[in-house]
Each structure stands twice: as C-alpha cells, then as structure tokens.
Amino acid sequence: MDLTPSGALRRGICALTVAATVPYLTLKSLWLCGSTVGFAPGAEIADSGALWAGNLVTFVMDAVAVLLALALIRPWGRRIPSGLLLFPAWVGSGMLGALLLELPLVFGTELLFGTEPSIDAQSWLRPWVFAVVYGGFAVQGLTLLAGFGLHARERWAGLLADRIGDLPRTATLGLQRVLAVTAAGLAVPLAATRLYWALGGDLARPLRLTEGHRPARIIDAVTAALLLAACGAFLHVVLRRTPERPLAPALVTGWVAGGAVFAWGSWTVFAWLLTPEVPEQADVVPPAGQLAEAAQAGVGLLLLVLGALILIERAHAAADVQSAG
C-alpha cells in the first residue's frame, strides 16, 4: 500500500476530512450571515455579539482542520516548522479524540435507557443539527488522527522507535519532573471532582446540570479518565522508572489525553471570557465549579510546557548526534 504523501490512502484521508467539515462550515457561514436555519420553531435567540463571535471562532477552528489535513499529505507540510504543525494537531487530536470517546457512550446510553427530555441550553437547535455537527466531528477525529499518525511515522520515525531510556537526560529534566508532579497533584482532585459529578453529585454544578443531564455526566467521567491518563503518561516518561519500555505508548496516550485536557479546559475558560453578559440563573456556574474548570486549563498548560520541553530537548540531542557523526 502506498503510504507516501501522494499515495491514495493519504489523499483519501484528506478528502474525508475536508468533506466532514463542509456541513459544519456551511452551517456556521449561514449563521454568521444572519440565517436561522437549524433553529427550532419558536426559538428566541438574542442578537448577541458574543454568539456571533463564538460562531466566527468555531468556524475558524474547523477551517484550520482543513489546512491541517492538507499539510499532513502535501510535501509542503513537511517543510512547516514542527511547532507550527504540532500545536494545532495536538489541540485538534485532543478535542476530537475526547469526542470520539464520549459520543459512543452518549448514544449507547440513549439506546439503552432512552433519550432524556431536552433541558440543554442549546435546545433551541433542531435535532438534525447535532447529528450533522457531531457526525462531522467524529469523522474528522478519525481521519485527522489517522493522517497525523502517518505523517508522524514518516517525519518522526526515530522518536516513535525510541525507548523511554533513550530520551536525553538534560539540565531541564528536574524541571520536567516538577511540572509533571505539579500537574498530577492538580489532576487527582480534579478527576475526583469530575467522578463525583459523573456519579450524580450536584455540588458546584449549574442548576441546569443538576436535573439528570446524562451526557454531561458521561463527559465528566471521560474527562476524569483523560486527566489521570495524561498525567500518568507524562510521569511515566519523565521519572524514567522503566527505561527499557517503548516510548510510543506513553507518547500517544499523553498526546491525545493531554491535548483533550488542554483543549477543553482552555475552551471552557475562553467561552466564559467570550460571554460578558450575565447568564440565566440556571446556567450560572458556582465559584467552586469555575475554579475546577480553570484548574483543568492550568493542568493543560503545564502539560503543554512539559511536552514542548521533552520534544525540544530530544530534537536538540538528535541534532547533536547527527552533527557529531
């Protein structure tokens, strides 16, 4: 099978990714132009600048997915500096990877237990909108992860073949360990809080999410698992307790789970900043809940810095070996 950048497999992956973004980008374009397509009958939507800005930001985010898909298959993509490619790929992998875990659980529980009455803040949308949007996200998640995996296997084959003990012991290793332990120290109580919410706890939750709302509780359970998986993977790498183990499993786990923690934590904080008006009483997040969401963004930021240090130090060590040889 041809796995080169011009190969049929990569072209197919890119085409599927682009095709999956078309419905979402079309819908967002219509909303940005003032259309009410997809709105439920009788829905009353305030003429909010925050809503328009949110639609613009999410349109740009999905447009970046198109550019990323092209970069992963075209020769010019390998000339893009690693950092410029890795950051959007990491955020996209985490955001869409979390959805790939959550969507089967949400739809599976609906098949088993039935659909809950609509109490969501977005009940003003027609049901087909969710099918189009999340169906597209699922396809994008699968294709972008596959495309990035092929790109990484070609561009960073040496890193993926390394053992944990092959990573360089540089002057920043102590800092890496401090960052990993700090992130884990924050992640454990955050994961416990998410599990408490997932099991039905309502303390520090918005009123809207205290009346059942099964999907939100599933998301909380998945987020708890991702927090623990991400920090566990990074601790495994920086503590070097099993240097003979292959690096790839921890790297992939830290990549997807850490990206999810960072992406969704940061998105929640960004959404708060984007909505300056006072929300409805049912949507008000208690201070403790706000602290938990902000702390998740903080954990994600620590993992971002830690991952960048690991990759930069490894790249410098590889360059030194090549120059010496």
Digit-coded pLDDT (tens) for 151-160: 998 889 899 9
Phi, psi of 314, deg, nearest 5:
-65, -40
> If DSSP states are collapsed to H, E and C, what string results for 187-218?
HHHHHHHHHHHHCCCCCCCCHHHCCCCHHHHH
pLDDT at 197 over 70: yes
Phi, psi of 39, deg, nearest 5:
-80, 145
Burial classification of residue 320, based on how many CB atoms lie within 10 Å of its CB (0-12 exposed, 13-18 middle, 19 or more buried) = exposed
- Check residue 7 and give its pLDDT: 72
Query: Angle of helix 82-113 relative to helix 127-155, nearest 10 degrees?
Result: 140
- Check residue 110 and give its pLDDT: 87
- Check residue 280 and give its pLDDT: 65
Radius of gyration (C-alpha) of the chain in whole angstroms: 21
Which amino acid is residue 32, in one-letter code? L
pLDDT, tens digit, 9 for 90 and up, residues 232-257: 999 999 999 999 999 999 999 999 99
Which amino acid is residue 181, in one-letter code? V
pLDDT, tens digit, 9 for 90 and up, residues 75-117: 888 889 988 999 999 999 999 999 999 999 999 998 888 776 5
Residues 55-61, mean pLDDT to the nearest whole number: 94
How far apart, in Å, are the Cα atoms of 301 and each of 50, 63, 67, 298? Answer: 25, 24, 24, 5
pLDDT at 4 over 70: no
Residues 7-24, mean pLDDT to the nearest whole number: 91
Tokens of 135: 């169906």
Which residue has better confidence, 68 or 3?
A: 68
Tell me the whole-structure pTM to 2 decimals. Answer: 0.91
Q: What is the mean pLDDT of the chain?
A: 88
Confidence band (pLDDT; 50, 70, 90) for 166?
A: very high
pLDDT, tens digit, 9 for 90 and up, residues 248-304: 999 999 999 999 999 999 998 888 877 756 566 656 778 888 899 899 999 999 999
* Contact of 24 with 132, CB cutoff 8 Å: yes
pLDDT at 199 over 80: yes
Distance from first CA to last CA of the chain, Å, rounded? 34
Candidates 154, 174, 179; CA nearest to 307 is 179
Confidence band (pLDDT; 50, 70, 90) for 10?
A: confident
Candidates 83, 81, 87; CA nearest to 64 is 87
pLDDT at 209 over 80: no
- Check residue 1 and give its pLDDT: 46
- Which of these ranges, 77-81, 114-118, 195-199, 213-217, has the smallest mean pLDDT? 114-118
Round to whole Å and give the CA distance between 18 and 62: 10
Round to whole Å and give the CA distance between 43 and 177: 51
- Check residue 8 and give its pLDDT: 83
pLDDT at 189 over 80: yes
